[in-house]
A and B are shown apart, each in its own frame.
Chain A
């Protein structure tokens, strides 16, 4: 079982979905995107809060992320909605996304006669793209073209005992099959950088791993001062985690035990296969945006306290750390790794999770996707806006 049923893309990638994406270049175009979404419910919308008021690294990061989201293999066609006076140019986004070879259309509100006229035109284009997308058939795609993102949120003492080690076994199996697995949330690696650096494929990557985690630590200290060690959401503390390292040890087990091949920036597409670390924050919705931009076709999201959030266009598989959570939020969960505490083997849970992943890649909707828990596109920023 080293393949899934996916959609071939002109750039050689393969999607697990064939979505039509509507991407605004600026928050001021979000209303038009909403109007289009109401008329074309099948469209996947990426409303966000940015597009102006940024310069330097944040501007570069936002452009990279929006372009790479458009290029994500799960997206078959894109409509970019611009305003006309924003810093992030809509036409530039559209042409950068079009380099992937997929159909991309661009409309600018100030040139199309205002928001209502733009929405009408955009809805007609999106509706046509959705019709065309529905005619495309899935074909068997090798797992060497698969990129899976790893995420944990609302961790408890069992995330690192059941859910994360189970996902870690799946990660090892995916890497062995030639896939790419991205471990992220640097804040949650603090205190384990020595362990991760030891597993890097070469000294350069080891340095990058250490640097990425040290930057996360420096940032945490700068922001929180004496409370840096308590950079754990109250839910984590209530769940039994006493320190960030304790949580981090449980967190990094999601990546399994293979060598770390590369460290990529937020929203950057890995050039290596195997286990990769993305330099991104621990805030779930922001790190999922980075993972989606990195080209992930699916994500695993382990949770102990019960996090239901997914991501637009990329199916997110929820792995519960306890049966208590799985029963309490059954409609939001996909796998009950908590069964390990009642005697089921970790390998058994991992096998179930791997099989589910292949089904999800082939079109089965996991809970978050079926429930419409798409969250919202939150882009990471390193500085305040001006």
Chain B
């Protein structure tokens, strides 16, 4: 089966969609566990791997890429609408 998402770094709490993923799709993670998507994730975009609280750091490349602007559910699309850019570029 072709992987639908790519987790770049083991510390990351988001993964990158390798195909267009629809809401309700079942995605297999590297550990073998299932993730049920709760929104459409366009090809190349990020999906939350776990529930992320408001203000919690979002990790990609093993580095903080921003903070959750609102609670983000596991399986939800993560982008500019729910991700606050880090201090450096506020």
Binding site for B on A (CB under 8 A): 156-158, 160-161, 190-193, 195, 217, 220, 228-231, 237, 239-240, 242-246, 249-250, 304, 322, 324, 341
Docked pose: A153 CA to B44 CA in angstroms: 16
Contact B44 A240 (CB under 8 A): yes
Instruction: Name the one of B17, B18, B63, B85 contacting A229, with C-beta atoms under 8 angstroms.
Output: B85
Contact B44 A239 (CB under 8 A): yes
Interface residues of B in 34-72 (CB under 8 A from A): 42-46, 60-61, 63-66
Contact B42 A245 (CB under 8 A): no
Residue of B nearest to A324 (CB): B43
Interface size on B, residues (CB 8 A): 25
Contact B88 A191 (CB under 8 A): yes
Contact A243 B66 (CB under 8 A): yes
- Residues on B with C-beta less than 8 A from A161 are 6, 8, 16
- Residues on B with C-beta less than 8 A from A304 are 44
Contact B61 A157 (CB under 8 A): no
Contact B8 A244 (CB under 8 A): no
Shortest beta-carbon distance from A336 to chain B in Å: 15
Interface residues of B in 1-27 (CB under 8 A from A): 6, 8, 16-18
Docked pose: A253 CA to B18 CA in angstroms: 20
Docked pose: A193 CA to B8 CA in angstroms: 21
Main secondary structure of the interface of A (DSSP, over half): helix
Shortest beta-carbon distance from A192 to chain B in Å: 8
Residue of A nearest to B46 (CB): A240
Contact A245 B78 (CB under 8 A): no
Instruction: Name the one of B17, B42, B43, B89 contacting A190, with C-beta atoms under 8 angstroms.
Output: B89
Instruction: Name the one of A192, A195, A230, A240 contacting B45, with C-beta atoms under 8 angstroms.
Output: A240
- Residues on B with C-beta less than 8 A from A250 are 61
Contact A229 B16 (CB under 8 A): no
Instruction: Name the one of A195, A242, A322 contacting B78, with C-beta atoms under 8 angstroms.
Output: A242
Instruction: Name the one of B18, B60, B90 contacting A246, with C-beta atoms under 8 angstroms.
Output: B60
Contact A242 B66 (CB under 8 A): yes
Docked pose: A191 CA to B85 CA in angstroms: 10
Q: With A229-B85, A245-B66 given, name 13 new contacts (CB 8 A).
A: A157-B45, A157-B46, A190-B88, A191-B89, A230-B85, A240-B45, A242-B66, A242-B79, A242-B80, A242-B85, A249-B63, A250-B61, A324-B43
Residue of B nearest to A340 (CB): B6
- Residues on A with C-beta less than 8 A from B8 are 161
- Residues on A with C-beta less than 8 A from B44 are 156-158, 239-240, 304, 322
